[in-house]
Structure 1
Amino acid sequence: QSPFPVFKPTTCNYSSTIGTSCNISNRLCDLEKPCRNDGSCITNQNDINDYNCLCSRGFNGTHCEFDHRPCKPQTCLGHGECHETLDLSFFCLCHDGWTGIHCQSRIDNCRHDTCENDGVCRPILLNYKCECLGDSYSGRHCEIPSMKITILKIVSKSFAYIAIIAMISVAMFIVIMDILKYCFG
Structure 2
Amino acid sequence: MLNSPQGIYVDSNLNLYIADSANNRIQFIQTGQLNGVAVVGNGSSANIILNYPTGIVLDANGYLFIVDSYNHRIVGSSSTGFRCIVGCSGGGSTAFQLSFPQSVAFDSYGNIYVTDRNNSRVQQFALQTNNCTIPTTTTTTTTSSSSSTTTSTTTTTTSSTTSSSSTTSTTSTTTSTSSTTSSTTTSSSSTTSSTSVTTTTTTTTTPVPPAFYCPGTNIGAYCNVTSDACSMSQPCLNAATCFPDLTVPVGYRCGCQTGYTGSTCENDERICKDDTCWNNGTCIEVNSTTVNNNGTNFYCNCSKSFTGVHCELKVNLCVNIKCQNHGICQTVNMSWSCICLTSLFYYGNYCEIETSALKVKQALSKSFASVAITVLVLTCSFVIIMDVLKYVFKIDPIKAERLKQLQAKKSAKSKSKPKARNVAVRFQYVA
TM normalised by structure 2 equals 0.35
1:80 aligns with 2:281: yes
Superposed CA RMSD in Å reads 3.6
Q: Which amino acid aligns with 1:169?
A: L
**1:101 equivalent among 305, 309, 315:** 309
1:126 aligns with 2:334: yes
CA distance in 2, matches of 1:175, 1:51: 112
CA contact (8 A) 2:279 2:312 kept: no
Cα drift, residue 40 of structure 1? 2.8
> What is the CA deviation profile of residues 2-61 of structure 1, one whole-angstrom value per residue up to 9, with x for unaligned ones?
69x95732123x424332332333433443333322223344476796443332111111
CA contact (8 A) 1:38 1:56 kept: yes
1:140 aligns with 2:349: yes
Give identity over the alignment, percent.
33
Q: How does 1:1-185 map to 2 (within 5 A)?
A: 1=133, 8-12=210-214, 14-44=215-245, 50-77=251-278, 79-87=280-288, 89-110=297-318, 114-132=322-340, 133-178=342-387, 180=389, 182=393
CA separation of 1:96 and 1:7: change in aligned 2, threshold 3 A:
farther
Cα drift, residue 115 of structure 1? 2.8
CA contact (8 A) 1:39 1:56 kept: yes
SS at match of 1:170: helix
CA contact (8 A) 2:345 2:357 kept: yes
Cα drift, residue 142 of structure 1? 1.3
CA distance in 2, matches of 1:47, 1:167: 107
CA distance in 1, matches of 2:250, 2:357: 91
| Rg larger for | 2
SS at match of 1:69: coil
Q: Which structure carries more helix by proportion?
A: 1
CA separation of 1:161 and 1:66: change in aligned 2, threshold 3 A:
same
CA distance in 2, matches of 1:134, 1:147: 12
CA contact (8 A) 1:17 1:26 kept: yes
Q: Which runs of 4+ in 1 moved over 6 A?
A: none
CA separation of 1:6 and 1:103: change in aligned 2, threshold 3 A:
farther
CA distance in 2, matches of 1:47, 1:106: 51
CA separation of 1:10 and 1:153: change in aligned 2, threshold 3 A:
same
CA distance in 2, matches of 1:78, 1:171: 70
CA distance in 1, matches of 2:258, 2:235: 17
> Aligned residue pairs: how many?
183
CA separation of 1:54 and 1:161: change in aligned 2, threshold 3 A:
same
Cα drift, residue 66 of structure 1? 1.0
Cα drift, residue 70 of structure 1? 1.9
Q: Give the stretch that moved more between structures: 60-69 or 79-88.
A: 79-88
